[in-house]
Structures are given as C-alpha cells and as structure tokens.
Amino acid sequence: MDEQPRCCCEPANGTPGGQHKHTPRSEEELRQLRNRLNRMVGQLNGISRMLDENRYCGDILIQIAAVEKALQNFGYIILRDHMGTCVAEQLRDGNTAVLEELLDLMKKLK
C-alpha cells in the first residue's frame, strides 16, 4: 500500500484535528501570535459595528481589506515558522516529500 508522506506536524496515526508540532512555540511567539489574532478579532467586531451603524460601504470595504492583509501576514508568520522548524526537521531526516506539502500549503495561503 502506497502511504502518503506525513508532515512533521501530523501524528503517526494520521488522525485529523490531533496534529501537533514537534518543536513547540516559545511563550513569546505565542504571545505575539495571540496579540495579532486578537487585533484581527477586534477589527472584525469593528466591521460588525459598522454594519449595525449603517456605515458607508467604502469605509467597511477598507476595514475588510485591512483584516485580509492582517490575516495574510499572520499566515506568512506561521508559514515561516513551519519552514524553519517542521520542514527543516524533515529535510534533515531525509524526507524530501515534505517539500511537496510545503508547496501545497503555499498555494493555499496565496
């Protein structure tokens, strides 16, 4: 049976939703990521208030663009971390198939 290459973040049994990184994020990294995420949640709540206040469409669209950009930057930070830890670990272990997974993730992030 041909087995799919595993990402370094997946458990051996391949169960969805139970994936964990081998290299844990530092407390500082977690703090920064959570701060970014909380700012985005605040922006989304602001957009909701703008709808309730019947604000001008252009103003809402500007805020939507800001949230999209923030989320994309957040994704790039996670991707950079993934490349520096998970992908690098797999390449050191000789698993070059992880590069295909990386390309797929980059396409999804785009």
Q: pLDDT tens digits for 35-68? A: 999 999 999 999 999 999 999 999 999 999 999 9
- Residue 13 has a pLDDT of 47
In this prediction, residue 24 has a pLDDT band, given cuts at 50, 70 and 90, of: confident
The residue to which tokens 């701060």 are assigned:
35
Domains in the chain (CATH in brackets) are 27-109 (1.20.58.1000)
- The closest of 26, 39, 43, 33 to 75, measured between CA atoms, is 33
- Residue 21 has a pLDDT of 76
- Residue 18 has a pLDDT of 54
DSSP 21: -
Rounded Cα distance between 38 and 16, Å, is 26
- Residue 71 has a pLDDT of 96
